[in-house]
Amino acid sequence: MSRILIGFYAFLLMLFPSSKQLIAQYQSITFDSIKTANAVVDAIATRDIEAIKAMMCKNIKDNVPDLLGEIGKLFDAIDAIGDEAEVTWEWSGGYSETRDGGRKIGQSGLDIYFKDSGRNYALFISWEIINNFSPDERGMRRISLFDIEQKVTVFTISATNGGIGWHD
């Protein structure tokens, strides 16, 4: 059924390529939350810096100095948690707004938890699923490692214009 729906929207987009509503609907139905979450967890487990970079929005890729080095620092901070940590994840919260001219942004939070016998951490990710006026901005807009017990952010990589919420 979803393949038929995706094909239908693709056909409509060929007829109406400037339709912001069709673009937003297509982006929404083609986003696979389980595949995305597993890809993030796998990239972290294998320390695949390039995979994490590929998942980031254009703003982060263009504006974070030494992005590959920053992702490496994030991996180092995660490695410090330990190899025995239990890893779980869930999608949480969300943001959606439509503005003038039908411009739409839709975001969701991906929370990845690392629990071991000592301390617990969370990796909070803001993921842009829908952006019908600047599609390159889809992807990770912010990724933050948070120490749950200490209630402190350990490391963050964020877009310079709206890591969470509306941005132009």
Confirm whether pTM is higher than 0.85. no
Contact 166, 99 (CB under 8 A): yes
pLDDT tens for residues 44-71? 989 999 999 999 999 999 999 999 999 9
The count of other CB atoms within 10 Å of the CB of residue 36 is: 19
Same domain, 25 and 42: no
pLDDT at 65: 94
pLDDT tens for residues 58-107? 999 999 999 999 999 999 998 888 777 788 999 888 888 889 888 999 99
E strand or H helix at 74, and its extent?
helix 67-79
Q: How many domains does the chain have?
A: 2
Which residues, in sequence order, are CB contacts of 168 under 8 Å at separation 6+? 161
Determine the Cα angle at 82 with ends 78 and 87, to 5°.
70
Q: What percent of the chain has pLDDT over 90?
A: 45
Alpha-carbon distance of 103 to 109, in angstroms, equals 21
* Structure letter (DSSP) for residue 46: T
Same domain, 47 and 129: yes
Q: What percent of the chain has pLDDT over 70?
A: 90
3: containing domain: 1-30
Same domain, 66 and 138: yes
